[in-house]
Chain A
Amino acid sequence: MWNRKHLLGLSELSAGDITEILDLAQHYRAAALDERKAADTLRGSRVMLMFFENSTRTRVSFELAAQRLGAHVTAMQMEASSVKKGESLKDTVWTINAMGPDFIVVRHSSSGAPWQIASWVGASVVNAGDGTHEHPTQALLDLLTIRQRKGRIEGLRVGIVGDIAHSRVARSDLIGLAKLGAEVVLIGPPTLVPEAFARMGAEVSHDFDNTIHQCDVLYMLRIQRERLGSQLFPSVREYSTFYRLDAQRMQRAKPDVLVMHPGPMNRGVEITPEVADGPNSAILEQVSNGVAVRMAVLDLLYRNRR
């Protein structure tokens, strides 16, 4: 990791790189939750957050992570920027880069945008989610959460349920889990879980009820209501009937199954409140781990810059 300038995707990391990040994140867990335990590892550095897409948790999480390492943070409001006047992506990042930031943390709706940005700037680029491609820090915090709660990742069977085809979270999780030796089964209707994913090292199932009992971890994805009317699935009602995680379905699952969700949730659509807020859920721990993981990522990248 220390010889990398950017964190763009898990596809570029080795199992060793990933483990190194998780170990450092574990160390930062206390500092992640308590302002008084902050470090000054990044003191004097500048972190620019450029979020071209909306975000609650990822944005705030990166902001806190950078600040708790002592960095100066500027969180740009892209909706209020000259992007609205038609300024190109290249001009936008060149302009910011000309002001000398150490880090550009970017979320963008176009797959590949962080790679293109990395070729245009001198700053270190951290991908906070690009199109339907990758969301590496999300996957890293998911891996940390699984490791904490289950004690290991290797040999676990993880079911990812929902709109796999359009999920950058699912892709990054699949890549990370496979590299660390877990088995992944992708679950959802055929239009949302294409068979092609089987060639990425996962199994594919369209039958949640008969797969759920095999899983040590159930990772639920948000069903995007925007997809309704695009002939991908006919109604929320039909989707929920067959793929929602609710108390009834939980009876088919292992008693100690870990329930996770990247957020934001559509309560009632892909998961019910009693499961999301219940004893098997690690959803809020994921969020806490997110700050720690992002501190670890910034720390490791900064070592390479000095």
Chain B
Amino acid sequence: MTDILIRNGRVICPDQKIDHEADVLIRDDRIAEIGTTAASAAEVIDATGKIVCPGLIDMHVHLREPGDREDETIASGSAAAIAGGFTTILAMPNTDPPVDNPAAAEFVASRARQADLATVLPAGAITVGREGKELTEMALMSLAGVAAFTDDGSWVASSNVMAKALKYAKLTGLPIISHCEDPGLVGSGVMNAGMVAVELGLPGVGRSAEEAAVARDLVLAGETGGRLHITHVSTAGSARMIREAKARGVNVTADATPHHLVLTDECVRGYNTCARVNPPLRRQEDVDALREAVRDGTIDCIASDHAPHAAHKKECEFDKAAPGVIGLETTLAVLITELVNGGILTWPELIARLTIGPARALGIAKGTLRPGADADVTIIDPAAGHVIDPATFVSTGRNCPFAGRSVTGRAEIVIVGGAVKSA
């Protein structure tokens, strides 16, 4: 493998608290050193004016394979990841059939190796069939390469099963990722319960549907000592409870999505099915509280919850539309534009939430440019202005709530394991 020298970029590595101009030398598939180096290398990348950071990690992505290849495949999804600047993604197991056994996990890992683009870590289901009743073979799945357990798409409604899952998963050292949505409180709701829902005549989902579930999971994590990660936090109340739980030592991490950090339920007006998502887009005060939680680290990372759907699943009545929005190819630009250029986060804070944050939440040795680390690097042009156009996406999905938005910032070069990748 050729060595690569990335010169003159602004190197941001939150793990090492580095944020200054430097060169990065890659030897084989490892980071060799950071500094002003007189070394030469077979391949030289001029990163003048660019940001050089650890390869970005997205710990919540739906690749739809096995089963719904019309929505996305492991190949197209991992290509979309590269296009968006992500070198590692966690693939959710709510496929059809679900990834609830070692063979299915091995299938996902093997397809990802074939695509040879972003690193795809499979997640395994917590319960068989994601039915919320019996635990899966967590230890065997862990041997097959699973990096986390989640029934995402569904919450484990039985408190007894969730408590057992948190205890048992300690055997693997892997986190239990919880999609906090009490189905009884969701009912037939299709958007946030608020004035917009009343005006549009659409049934609403109260914040209690998430907060009651978050409260339960935090209590169980505290008592069992299990390793809990709460995904796609969407309300101010959830953020407040997570902050308080962390302060008293509960072993919990959390992520929020770009769309919950930018959009509100106003986006649903006109019955826009690209704004239908679980959990739903909430109020401005939730957006503001989530931004503060990302800033102060209550929310450790930002994950897209990339959820592609074939066109016919969205071009229909609002209450029949499949919930979900894509995000791999818009996350970076939206976050740079709204959070960094909007003065909410500094560059190192944003990069941390996309690198060392998810790496620590998953307990994986990535998200850093420490010498000896995997040579996963993302080079970002912070000033590239463009208009979001889903028709140009590499992902098979087009269900993007940011279509037509003017944004700044783009991933230009993505290196995975020392090899430059193109989508």
* A residues lining the B interface (CB < 8 Å): 11, 88-90, 108, 110-113, 115-116, 130-134, 168, 171, 194, 196-197, 199-200
Measured between alpha carbons, how far is A130 from B198 in the docked complex, in Å?
A: 14
Tell me whether B320 and A112 are in contact (CB under 8 A).
no
Q: Would you call B270 an interface residue if the criterion is a C-beta within 8 Å of the partner chain's C-beta atoms?
A: yes
The number of residues on chain B lying at the interface, defined by a beta carbon within 8 Å of a beta carbon of chain A, is 18
The docked-state distance in angstroms from the alpha carbon of A199 to that of B193 is 13
Q: A88-B316, A111-B201, A112-B200 are in contact. List 20 more A-B contacts (CB 8 A).
A: A11-B199, A88-B312, A88-B315, A108-B317, A110-B319, A111-B271, A111-B318, A111-B319, A112-B271, A113-B317, A115-B270, A115-B271, A116-B271, A116-B317, A116-B318, A131-B201, A132-B201, A133-B202, A134-B201, A200-B198
| B interface, CB within 8 angstroms of A | 193-195, 198-203, 270-271, 312, 315-320
Q: Please tell me if the beta carbons of A112 and B199 are within 8 angstroms of each other in the complex.
A: no
| Nearest-CB residue, chain A, relative to B315 | A90
B318 touches A110 (CB 8 A): yes
Complex partner residue of B202 from A89, A111, A197, CB under 8 angstroms: A111
A112-B317, A116-B271 are known contacts. Are A197 and B200 too (CB-CB below 8 A)?
A: no
B115 to chain A, nearest CB (A): 32
**When chains A and B are docked, how far (Å) is the Cα of A75 from the Cα of B337?**
52
- Please list the 9 inter-chain residue pairs (A to B) with the smallest Cβ-Cβ separation, ordered nearest first: A133-B201, A112-B271, A110-B317, A111-B201, A132-B201, A112-B318, A110-B319, A196-B198, A111-B202
Whether A130 pairs with B201 at a CB distance below 8 angstroms is yes
Bound complex: CA of A108 vs CA of B271, how far in Å? Answer: 14
| Shortest beta-carbon distance from A137 to chain B in Å | 16
For B312, what are the chain A residues with a Cβ–Cβ distance below 8 Å?
A: 88
Name the B residues within 8 Å of A115 (CB-CB): 270-271
| Chain A residues closer than 8 Å to B316, beta-carbon distance | 88-90, 116
A133 touches B315 (CB 8 A): no
Bound: A115/B312 CA distance, A: 17
Docked pose: A133 CA to B201 CA in angstroms: 4
Smallest Cβ-Cβ distance to A200: which chain B residue: B198
- A194-B271 Cα distance, complex, nearest whole Å: 22
Inter-chain contact A111/B195, CB cutoff 8 Å:
no
Expressed in whole angstroms, the Cα–Cα distance for A113 and B273 within the complex equals 12
Known: A88-B312, A89-B317, A116-B317. A196 touches B201 (CB 8 A): no
| CB-defined contacts of B203 to chain A, threshold 8 Å | 132
Give chain B residues whose Cβ lies under 8 Å from the Cβ of A110: 317-320
A133 to B162 alpha-carbon distance, docked (Å): 38
How far does the Cβ of B276 sit from chain A's closest Cβ, in whole Å? 11
When chains A and B are docked, how far (Å) is the Cα of A90 from the Cα of B318? 12
CA distance A113 to B320 in the complex (A): 11
Q: Which residue of B lies closest to A112 (CB)?
A: B271
Of all chain B residues, which has the CB nearest A134? B201
Contact between chains at A111 and B200 (CB < 8 Å): yes
A89 to B315, CA, bound (A): 9
Cα–Cα, bound, A71→B44 (Å): 75
B315 CB contacts on chain A under 8 angstroms: 88, 90
Q: Give the distance to chain B from A158, nearest Cβ to Cβ, in Å.
A: 19
Contact B195 A196 (CB under 8 A): yes
In the complex, chain A residues whose CB is within 8 Å of the CB of B270: 115
Shortest distance between the CB of B399 and any CB in chain A (Å): 15
Interface centre among B202, B317, B319 (most CB of A within 10 A): B317
16 interchain pairs, CB-CB under 8 A:
A88-B312, A88-B316, A90-B315, A110-B317, A110-B319, A110-B320, A111-B201, A112-B318, A115-B270, A116-B271, A116-B316, A116-B317, A196-B198, A199-B195, A199-B198, A200-B198
**A280 CA to B210 CA, complexed, in Å:** 48
Q: In the assembly, what is the distance between CA of A134 and CA of B312, in Å?
A: 26
Return A193 CB to nearest CB of chain B, in Å.
12
The answer to whether B319 touches A131, judged by C-beta atoms less than 8 angstroms apart, is yes
Cα(A11)–Cα(B195), bound, Å: 14
Residue A133 contacts which of B194, B195, B200 (CB distance < 8 angstroms)? Answer: B200
Nearest Cβ in chain A — how far from B184, in angstroms?
A: 10
**Chain B residues near A112 (CB, 8 Å)?**
200-202, 271, 317-318
A132 to B200, CA, bound (A): 8
Q: What's the minimum C-beta distance from B206 to chain A, rounded to whole angstroms?
A: 11
Q: Which residues of A contact B317 (CB under 8 A)?
A: 89, 108, 110, 112-113, 116
Task: Give the complex CA separation of A130 and B201 in angstroms.
Answer: 9
Complex contacts, B201 vs chain A, CB 8 Å: 111-112, 130-134, 168, 171
CA distance A168 to B195 in the complex (A): 15
Q: Which residues of B contact A194 (CB under 8 A)?
A: 198
Minimum distance in angstroms from A207 CB to a CB of chain B:
22
Identify the closest chain B residue to A175 (Cβ).
B199
CA of A263 to CA of B36 in the docked complex: distance in angstroms? 81
- Minimum CB distance partner of A230 in chain B: B187
Expressed in whole angstroms, the Cα–Cα distance for A272 and B200 within the complex equals: 32
Chain A residue, CB-CB nearest to B318: A112
Contacts of B194 in A (CB 8 A): 196
Distance between B207 CB and nearest chain A CB, rounded to angstroms: 13
Determine the residue in chain B with the shortest Cβ distance to A115. B271
> Which chain B residue shows the least CB distance to A167?
B201
Q: A11 CA to B312 CA in the complex, in Å?
A: 29
On whether the beta carbons of A197 and B198 are closer than 8 Å, the reply is: yes
Q: CA A263 – CA B200 in complex, angstroms?
A: 23
Task: Please indicate the chain A residues that have their CB under 8 angstroms from the CB of B202 in the complex.
Answer: 111-112, 131-133
Could you say which residues of chain B place their CB within 8 Å of the CB of A133? 200-202
Distance between Cα atoms of A26 and B10 in the complex (Å): 74
- Alpha-carbon separation in the docked complex, A110 to B202 (Å): 9
Instruction: List the A side residues contacting B319 at CB < 8 Å.
Output: 110-111, 131
A171: nearest chain-B partner, CB-CB: B201
